[in-house]
Structure 1
Amino acid sequence: MTTVQAERICAALRTALEGQCFPARLHSRFREAANLDTPLGLVTLLSPRKCLQPYAVRLEEEMDYTVLEPGVLSLGSRGIAVDGAVAVSFGASRAVDLHLTPGPAPGAEGARMVRQFLAAAPEEGLARLALGRSDGLYAGLLAPRLETLRRAVRAGETETAARAARRMAGCGPGLTPSSDDLICGYLALLPSGGAWAGMAEAIAAAAARGTNDISAALLLRAGEGHFSEDALGLIGCLRRGGERRALHTWLLRVASFGSSSGYDFLTGVYFGVLDACAIGGIRID
């Protein structure tokens, strides 16, 4: 069996694997990614050029993921083995920290730029919600539920927010339903202190119970504060402010994920900025 080298690995995953060897099974595979079901949750293999995600590994070269279907899989600090033979080596991979550190809420200009960008989003997603529109099957269904979630978050009411997120979860087309992508983006801006301590985890856990395995994994990681490299770059740029060209570049990178998933994530970011500012006493019209 040919061994494929990993180029980058989520730092949290590398830490969790230190000195360990876990059983694994192939959960799902696609042209440019595969998911392994493990005691750590879903672990994702990504083809070259793909943006690194939480609890994921990006490979140096393309891999035929069908080699993971037969045989007994294991996941450990050395890599992924099939019947004891290393199929993916983590030895030379670079660990990348994908944890979002607490920081200031972005300002009004950033929110306006995100909204302006969303005006050109595909019709099939939820970006219209950021434009004050609730036409369309999913947007019409989700608009009042999103408002319930936002009111609860601004008030610091964790249980109410979690119930609202559960009612939103799993709504929309795609491998990761639009509502789940929106919630993930929203969680990236949620305060973590005071009345909001533990709220992100509660919202994510509630939403994860109402959707599919792959989307649930992303929600749970977001609840822990783990996001993709592109999402972290975007949030950092929003926090710094005053970098219009750089912000547009990050918006494009996040938006490129999936047919509408990136735009749905950005819709959540937009509402997250509004509510983070409102919690801090700043109203953005």
Structure 2
Amino acid sequence: MSDTSQPKVRTSSTSLVHATFQKYKRKERSFRSSVIATQVILLVVFISLWEIAGRLKWIDVLLFSYPSKVGYQIWKDMLDGSIWPHLSVTVGETIVGFLLGTLLGTLLAIMIWWSRFLARVLDPYMVVFNSMPKVALGPLFIVGFGPGFSAIVATTLSITVIITTLVVYQAFREVDPNYVKVVQVFGGTRSTIFRKVILPASMPAIISTLKVNVGLAWVGVIVGEFLVAKSGLGYLIIYGFQVFNFTLVMASIVLIAIVATLMYQGVSYLERLLTRRKANE
């Protein structure tokens, strides 16, 4: 009699777990939908208020323009093709600075983790360099690399590399030492410890650093273009100020926001892929 009841109990337990999981998934979908809806509503409200304030002259239209005027500026520049060279230059510089900054910063963090001596030597220098105003280094990069792509990327790297190094290295240090000891007990080398324990455990911090570096890369590129560029969205912002075309300035800022959002969403998609892959392992 007990033998026949056990399958029923297991089936009932499995059904309960499945129902609970489905309820959780519905709740999460509802939550994500609410977040997206709220974000869209806030954006629509902001744009509407900005448009109304501009039309009714609540704000200085010469300085702040308004959405329909900015949208027309972007559309006109896209149709005549004048915006594409500037957009491609800035996006290219940003992607290069973003990728190089993340890669070099992560490699430097690995080197510091690998060598305790190197960590002690470089620690004060990294803290001091991180506290320096990067704008002040711009003229040095211009003189050293020449006025162009290299100087702008160097300005970007001066912002992204140290931040990446500090964040990733701190993530390496915060890995549970018990995991490291287990690998050491079984004869694992430092290389094995890094590959099997440190890097997998630090992957969320590295992904978070990618998200931060999206914004930092844009800051570095725009600052560099302010100083030296003859093309790019940063150049258009400076040019717009010089000729008092603040609609062009706002249009350039809007384009920066759109592309930066797309880059951030790309990193978020990568994070979801890695999370899904880790969950399936």
Q: Same fold (TM over 0.5)?
A: no
Q: Quickly name the TM-score band, shorter chain normalised.
A: under 0.3
